[in-house]
Amino acid sequence: MQPIVTCPRVSQLTTSTGRNRLHSLVGQLPKLKGLAKYAAKNLTTFRRIEAISQTNAGGCRKLDLTKKSVRLAIETATSAEGLYSSATAEDYAA
C-alpha cells in the first residue's frame, strides 16, 4: 500500500509514485465512508489515518480516522464538505 498525501477541494493528490491528480469534495463521501471502515479494521496497523481537505479560505482541515467519534460522524454524514467544516475536523498544518 502506498501512502497518499491529499488536500483536495479542487487541488492535487500526490501519491508516493509522484503522480498528481485533481480531486474535489464532490463524490468524496463514499470514499470517506470506505476509508472509515478500513481504518476501524486496521487501527493497529497504522499510526495515523487521516483524510485532509483544503478549505474555502485556503487552509487545510483533517479528519483523524483513528478516532471513533470521527468514524461515527463520517458514517452518518450527508456531505464531505459538511464534515470538513464541522467541529469533527481539525486544522491541519503540514
- Where are the extended beta strands (E) located within the chain? 4-6, 11-15, 20-23, 50-54, 60-64, 90-92
In this structure, are residues 82 and 73 in contact, taking their beta carbons and an 8 Å threshold?
no
3-state secondary structure of 78: coil
Angle in degrees, 0-180, between the axes of helices 68-76 and 28-41, rounded to the nearest 10: 140
- The confidence score (pLDDT) of residue 78 equals 93
More confident of the two residues 91 and 19: 91
**Rounded alpha-carbon distances, angstroms, from residue 23 to 40, 46, 53, 83, 87:** 24, 24, 10, 17, 23
pLDDT in tens, 14-70: 444 444 343 567 788 999 999 999 999 998 888 888 898 887 777 889 999 999 999
